[in-house]
Structure 1
Amino acid sequence: MKLFRLAPAALAALLLTGCPAKKDTAETETTTTPAAATPAVPAFNADSAYAYVAKQVAFGPRVPNSKAHVQTGDWLVARFKALGLTVREQPFEAMAFDGNMLKSRNLIAQYQPQAPRRVAVFTHWDTRPFADKDKQNKNAPFDGASDGASGVGIVLEMARILAAQPDSLTPGVGVDFILFDAEDYGYDAATQGEKKNLLNGQETWCLGSQYWAKNVVPAGYKPNYGILLDMVGAKDGRFNREGISRKKAPDVVEKVWNTAAELGFSDYFQFTNSPTLTDDHAFTNAAGVRTIDIIDFLPNGEFRPYHHTTQDNLSIIDRRTLKAVGQTVLTTIYKE
């Protein structure tokens, strides 16, 4: 993904840190309220998630209007249906900054669609058409193993796990896996200054989530909250508390990061703040879905070196990162 924007006073916010809630040491045993027992949560299978990432990469770069893009979308729909989820496609066309009309589709797969209480898990499934941060191949397409495929790999594995549970071991909420398209075809003035932005004055990133926010599917959709996964598979991933997430859904940020700490994943989910970022959650929040962003984005407002380069391939994907994110999100859902 994309570009960051510093919110007011964001530079000061970069230095702020926090910790999971701790019991006051002055409390006595008679005044302590026992914590609710964590429900039995299935184990997230990182090997399976990795295989889903590899499968997407094998199709080739999932750039809108390409054969690989169509094949990947068809495979995703078939896979969700094979797991027994209720699947909807939301086709749309959107003009990219360079004037190309992108034939795109958002995908919505619902687990337990009848459940009144719901949680949304968002990600994007397309890849950027050019490695514009690459020093040698800035116009080359790239695999998007972390930036795109990793979030989808985690979503597919979560769907597989949930679909396999007997009725007695299902979570207390329904889950909607919403995969946005045409997310990563945006204009970066720092790396594409030689190109003309025909969408000047309009947001060039996140075209799929912009379309969904204006045409919400399912109609009237109001889940308890949403979690966006973006660039969640690279080795030594670092997930800091992003600005819009902290502003729009601070309780969800606390819930997810504290859950990660309880599971022993604080090396990945760090109690450090990062700046405001234009990502899909900016538009899901605008549509009324309180959403946080789990993204490999650093407190200084920079991305990791693989970002938008040909280095974003299968070699950087680490099962331990997939496990940390997948198990944390799955456990968070089971706590509802």
Structure 2
Amino acid sequence: MKNNRIGWALTVAAGMLLASCGTDKKETTTTAAPEVAKGPAAPAFNADSAYAFTAKQVAFGPRVPNTKAHVATGDWLVQEFKSYGLTVKEQQFEVMAFDGKMLRSRNIIAQFDPTVARRVAVFAHWDTRPFADKDKEKKNAPLDGASDGASGVAIALEMARLLSQQPANQRPAVGVDFILFDSEDYGYDSSTQSDLKDQLAAQGKDSWCLGSQYWSKNLVPTGYKPSYGILLDMVGAKNAKFSREETSRQYARDVVDKVWNTGAQLGYSDFFLFQDSPGIDDDHVYTNQAGVRTVDIIDHLPVGDEYFPPYHHTTQDNMSVIDKRTLKAVGQTVLQTIYNE
């Protein structure tokens, strides 16, 4: 993601309206990391492998719905998960974008240890934005989406590969579902696309996160109810900063604490900042509304009027921004969080 619109509201179960990014920007707050019980050590996350998975996706070209590169990437992802022995389901759907175009889309669900009752979801989006609308020179060019798209998927793939290699007595106590959303980044940004019309806004619909919106209303697996979910978005760039985003805290504060405390204990507190930040419009808004308590790990630290790093939605989001240490920090932290269950 993401759209950095101010004031997108969502309705919580109790009926309260929460602004995902209020016009009155809040000061970020900082607290120390408390101790958290540690489970068995997770296997070592291989950042080299995650980097290669990122590069592989980028090599397909921009993964924009309705393109050959998009189809080829989706087919490869399905086969890659299957090669690790995971149970894979594809959710095919068509959805209208803000410009009226119908997007042929598919969400990909890959289940590790599907018979285990207690489960954790790992979410990411696998599509890329069709235009670099924040780019000063190439506003209409497609982008590689190395961090915004490929990095989260790469971490999910590497986790799946590692888990599949573990003997039965060294697997986590929970099953893991890797759920990759499509058509996430085909949204309308009023700050860069004021010359265009958002046809979905007239219907009272959000133009972002179309895949997670569809999934949240058509859950796969049916009746899906994991213990919690972790969304990986923009998790591969050098010097990434992950603040504790508001929607994550409001729906799943205990999960935020689990993840950030684990990151600190592993020595990654320079990535997982104990700072609270306003909410944003991302896939976790819709997974939370569907009853899956989800936190968002996203390179997102509001500074002034800018919420996202300089490469965001520009042609600079390519392999040059990807850093193996960031991939390692996120991958190892999420793996260990799961093993702590």
TM-based fold match above 0.5: yes
Superposition deviation, residue 12 in structure 1: 6.7
Partners of 1:240 and 1:298 lie apart in 2 by: 6
Give the corresponding residue for 2:316. 311
1:186 maps to 2:187: yes
Identical columns (%):
68
Partners of 1:247 and 1:309 lie apart in 2 by: 31
Give the corresponding residue for 1:2. 2
Give the corresponding residue for 1:252. 255
Q: Do the aligned partners of 1:260 and 1:328 also contact (CA within 8 Å) in 2? A: yes
Give the corresponding residue for 1:335. 340
Superposition deviation, residue 293 in structure 1: 0.2
Superposition deviation, residue 139 in structure 1: 0.2
Partners of 1:177 and 1:240 lie apart in 2 by: 23
Partners of 2:163 and 2:30 lie apart in 1 by: 34
Which amino acid is the alignment partner of residue 27 of structure 2? Answer: L
Partners of 1:63 and 1:130 lie apart in 2 by: 9
Partners of 2:95 and 2:110 lie apart in 1 by: 22
SS of residue matched to 1:109: strand
Match for 1:321 among 300, 303, 326? Answer: 326
Unaligned 5+ runs, structure 1: 23-34
Q: Do the aligned partners of 1:273 and 1:299 also contact (CA within 8 Å) in 2? A: no
Give the corresponding residue for 1:14. 27
Which amino acid is the alignment partner of residue 3 of structure 1? Answer: N
Q: Deviations over 1:117-151 (max 9, x none)?
A: 00000000000000000000000001000000000
Partners of 1:254 and 1:10 lie apart in 2 by: 26
Give the corresponding residue for 2:15. none
Count of residues paired in the alignment: 324
Match for 2:224 among 207, 217, 221? Answer: 221
Superposition deviation, residue 11 in structure 1: 4.9
Superposition deviation, residue 38 in structure 1: 3.1
Q: Do the aligned partners of 1:148 and 1:230 also contact (CA within 8 Å) in 2? A: yes
Which amino acid is the alignment partner of residue 246 of structure 1? Answer: R
Superposition deviation, residue 40 in structure 1: 2.4
Q: Aligned ranges for residues 95-244 of structure 1 at < 5 Å?
A: 95-200=96-201, 201-244=204-247
1:268 maps to 2:281: no
Which amino acid is the alignment partner of residue 99 of structure 2? Answer: D
The more displaced of 281-290 and 301-310 is: 301-310
Give the corresponding residue for 1:75. 76
Partners of 1:38 and 1:70 lie apart in 2 by: 39
Sort the Cα spacing of 1:37 and 1:102 in 2 relative to 1 into closer, same or farther, 3 A.
closer
Partners of 1:271 and 1:13 lie apart in 2 by: 15
Partners of 1:233 and 1:122 lie apart in 2 by: 15
Which amino acid is the alignment partner of residue 177 of structure 1? Answer: F
SS of residue matched to 1:223: coil
1:56 maps to 2:82: no
SS of residue matched to 1:65: coil
Q: Deviations over 1:156-185 (max 9, x none)?
A: 000000000001100000000000000000
Partners of 1:306 and 1:72 lie apart in 2 by: 23
1:277 maps to 2:280: yes
Partners of 2:295 and 2:34 lie apart in 1 by: 19
Q: Output the aligned Cα RMSD.
A: 1.3
SS of residue matched to 1:151: helix
Q: Deviations over 1:212-256 (max 9, x none)?
A: 000000001000000000000000010000010010000000010
Superposition deviation, residue 14 in structure 1: 2.7
SS of residue matched to 2:243: strand
Which amino acid is the alignment partner of residue 217 of structure 1? Answer: V
TM-score (norm 2): 0.93
Sort the Cα spacing of 1:9 and 1:303 in 2 relative to 1 into closer, same or farther, 3 A.
closer
Partners of 1:86 and 1:184 lie apart in 2 by: 26
Which amino acid is the alignment partner of residue 300 of structure 2? Answer: F
Give the corresponding residue for 1:85. 86
TM-score (norm 1): 0.94
Give the corresponding residue for 1:25. none
Give the corresponding residue for 2:299. 296
Which amino acid is the alignment partner of residue 180 of structure 2? Answer: L
Sort the Cα spacing of 1:206 and 1:12 in 2 relative to 1 into closer, same or farther, 3 A.
closer
SS of residue matched to 1:249: helix
Partners of 1:293 and 1:14 lie apart in 2 by: 19
Q: Do the aligned partners of 1:257 and 1:271 also contact (CA within 8 Å) in 2? A: yes
The more displaced of 322-331 and 293-302 is: 293-302
